[in-house]
Amino acid sequence: ALLPQLLPEDFDRRLQFAEQAPQRELSGAWKGLGTAYDLFEDGSVLAVPLPGHVPGQMGVWLRDQHDREVLLCADAVWSSATWATLQWPAWPTRLLMHDWSAFQRTVRQLHGLSQAHPELAILPSHCQPSLDRYQPEWR
């Protein structure tokens, strides 16, 4: 939900879209995600397309304070079981997807990425088990 009254008055002037950032070609297991956007132009935070759930869905790759690779995948998937074991959500979920085929491709790409880079923490927004594994002290 958007609550306009919480935004600063100059929000429209300050707004920058990820697509305006310099592009970086991804390689290896990351290549399937397409072109990344270098949000700070220093390689520290990359926005990557994760289509399917909603138009324009992106995730954010970064390194945390312990130098661990993290992919914040927002609502691209809701559960780690989806990408880890290719356990598809119940059929009514298709009704919530903008593009079911793109969602399936994104899940398969996340699965491949997790296999190629097991050290990568893939964190869906709504998956408490993923957050608990990543940061046990948050429990």
Q: In percent, how much of the chain has pLDDT > 90?
A: 68
pLDDT reading at 24 higher than 90? yes
Per-residue pLDDT at 139: 59
Helix (H), strand (E), coil (C) string for the chain: CCCHHHCCCCHHHHCCCHHHCCEEECCHHHHHHCEEEECCCCCCEEEEECCCCCCCCEEEEEECCCCCEEEEEECCCCCHHHHHHCCCCCHHHHHHCCCHHHHHHHHHHHHHHHHHCCCCEEEECCCHHHHHHHCHHHC
When the candidates are 3.30.200.20, 3.90.650.10, 3.60.15.10, 3.30.565.10, the CATH number that belongs to 16-138 is: 3.60.15.10
- Quick: pLDDT tens for 62-80: 999 999 999 999 999 989 9
pLDDT at 1: 61
Q: Sketch the domain layout of the chain as residue ranges.
A: 16-138
Confidence (pTM): 0.86
